[in-house]
């Protein structure tokens, strides 16, 4: 099973601008993010009863070796600048990166 590091972006916005935000995200921001060298895919996460104004996206990196260069690329800088438009409407924002752990040794218990 191949696993990729992923970046999770969570944002809570004024619910009144969420439709406009999601249109902007789909048509402007997402294409910029997918131009970042090392980002291989994106996915949207939605619950059955999402919290009003919530937005959750995931982005997969090619592998661990590209994460730092991807995040420092000019394309990533552009993607971060995209968010400036929404600064007044975003009241929570978190960015987290998850990577697979190396295989753990098998623990054997002997009594």
Dump pLDDT digits (tens) for 74-90: 999 999 998 888 888 88
DSSP 13-49: E-GGGHHHHHHHIIIIIHHHHHTSTTEEEEEE---SS
User: Per-residue pLDDT tens for 38-59?
Assistant: 999 999 887 655 677 788 899 9
CA 4 and chain centroid, separation: 13
pLDDT of residue 72: 96
- Banded pLDDT at 103 (limits 50, 70, 90): low
What local confidence, expressed as pLDDT, does residue 97 receive? Answer: 94
Helix ranges, 25-86 (H)? 30-34, 67-71, 74-82
Q: Flag whether pLDDT at 106 surpasses 80.
A: no
Q: What is the pLDDT of residue 100?
A: 80
- 3-class SS at 48? coil
């Amino acid at each position: 099973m191949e696993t990729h590091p992923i970046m999770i972006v969570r944002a809570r916005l004024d619910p009144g601008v969420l439709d406009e935000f999601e249109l902007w995200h789909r048509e402007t921001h997402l294409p910029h993010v997918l131009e970042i060298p090392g980002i291989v895919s994106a996915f949207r996460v939605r619950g059955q009863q999402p919290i009003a104004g919530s937005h959750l996206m995931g982005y997969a990196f090619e592998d661990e070796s590209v994460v730092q260069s991807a995040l420092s690329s000019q394309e990533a800088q552009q993607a971060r600048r995209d968010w400036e438009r929404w600064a007044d409407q975003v009241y929570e924002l978190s960015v987290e990166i998850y990577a697979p752990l190396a295989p753990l040794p098998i623990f054997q218990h002997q009594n």
